[in-house]
Structure 1
Amino acid sequence: MSDAKSHHDNYVLRLYHKLKSKPLGGWLFSRALAAKAPYFKTVGATITALEPNRCECIIKKRRAVENHIGTMHVIAICNGLELSMGVMAEASIPKHLRWIPKGMSLDYTAKAGSDIRCVARVKPEDWKPGDLDVEVVAYDDQDIEVVRGRIRLWVSEKPARAKAA
């Protein structure tokens, strides 16, 4: 990997690569993430692809994430997009920077009547202090876009650590 981080340099990528080849590895990785951020358990998403600057998860269509017309509720999709963005950010951000979400802007482009694949991606050169717009897109099982937008992050320098006396 030239500009991209080696997965040995990042704890999220290291854990993902350790688990992905095992039976139920994506599920185990996703449950470990949900233990750290319990809210994400609500949609039951599973991380299916992770590399620096890109992450995908799948949300299975089931009654718990459906709306009144039997399609996937857009808020469940938003949660999947936010999960993909957060995992991508943790796996990608340079060590001297930190991030926090600042806003989300989405367009609902089609009904979501199937399992949904949520994708978040940025360009490696975009990791610098200031606003960073992460592209997020959700696809149905026919690869039709059902949601498209951005999640804006505030990226800043980590504060200097105090030296031990």
Structure 2
Amino acid sequence: MPQLYDLWKILTGAPVAGRLAGKRVFSLAFARKAPYFGSIHPLVNQLRPNYAEVVVPNRRSVHNHLGTVHAIALCNGLEMAMGALAEATIPADKRWIPKGMEVAYTAKATSDITCIAETDPGQWTADDPDLPVRVRGVRDDGTVVIEGVIRLWVTPKKR
């Protein structure tokens, strides 16, 4: 849905000081569309077709009993990144819905986590309705703490 991407470009197109404010406004608006996303206090850091980054801050409200970012908060960040990517990328004549998520927790999430979702352009025009989105979460030091795939079901819109 290009409307989401158009909003992103408008809000983040300002000079550097305004760009961060635009990212915050966009992130709040996007989290209101799917209110559960607000529970992780996300910041959409980058968005373009086939790529999205959402930062999940290392806050006490998303910690587990170990004092690290909880696995489900990480999954929430990955799903938000995937959703932003899907809305910014999908052709106007198609629709999507998530149908599954497979992830592996590979390290402790001890800092802010950048959740990244990626696809290849050809995936969106293929005849196969099963579309895997590659996702990963990265600590500030570059360590991958979670990685996997979110599978989408992409079909033509009904007329």
TM-score per shorter chain, which class?
over 0.9
Distance 2:53 2:111 in 1: 16
1:63 aligns with 2:60: yes
Ranges in structure 2 where 5+ consecutive residues have no aligned partner: none
- The correspondence of residues 7-156 of structure 1 with structure 2, limited to 5 A, is 10-20=2-12, 21=14, 22=18, 23-127=20-124, 128=126, 129-156=128-155
Distance 1:69 1:13 in 2: 37
**Which SS does the other structure have where 1:56 is aligned?**
strand
Q: Write the letter of the residue equivalent to 2:50.
A: N
Deviation at 1:35, TM superposition (A): 1.6
TM-score calculated relative to the size of structure 2? 0.93
Distance 2:69 2:107 in 1: 11
Deviation at 1:10, TM superposition (A): 1.4
Question: What's the Cα RMSD here?
Answer: 1.1
Query: In percent, how many aligned pairs have the same letter?
Result: 46
Deviation at 1:24, TM superposition (A): 1.1
Hey, which bits of structure 1, 4+ residues long, moved more than 6 A?
A: none
Distance 1:68 1:45 in 2: 21
Render the CA deviation track for 1:39-93: whole Å, top value 9, x for unaligned.
Answer: 1101111100001010001011010000001111010000000000000000000
Render the CA deviation track for 1:26-47: whole Å, top value 9, x for unaligned.
Answer: 1100111112111110111110
Distance 1:13 1:153 in 2: 19
Q: Write the letter of the residue equivalent to 2:142.
A: D
Q: Write the letter of the residue equivalent to 1:146.
A: V
Count of residues in correspondence between the two structures: 152
Ranges in structure 1 where 5+ consecutive residues have no aligned partner: 1-8, 161-165
**Which SS does the other structure have where 2:114 is aligned?**
strand
Larger radius of gyration between Structure 1 and Structure 2: 1
Distance 2:88 2:112 in 1: 25
- Could you tell which deviates more after superposition, 21-30 or 37-46? 21-30
**Which SS does the other structure have where 1:94 is aligned?**
coil
Distance 2:23 2:74 in 1: 19
Greater fraction helix: 2
TM-score calculated relative to the size of structure 1? 0.89
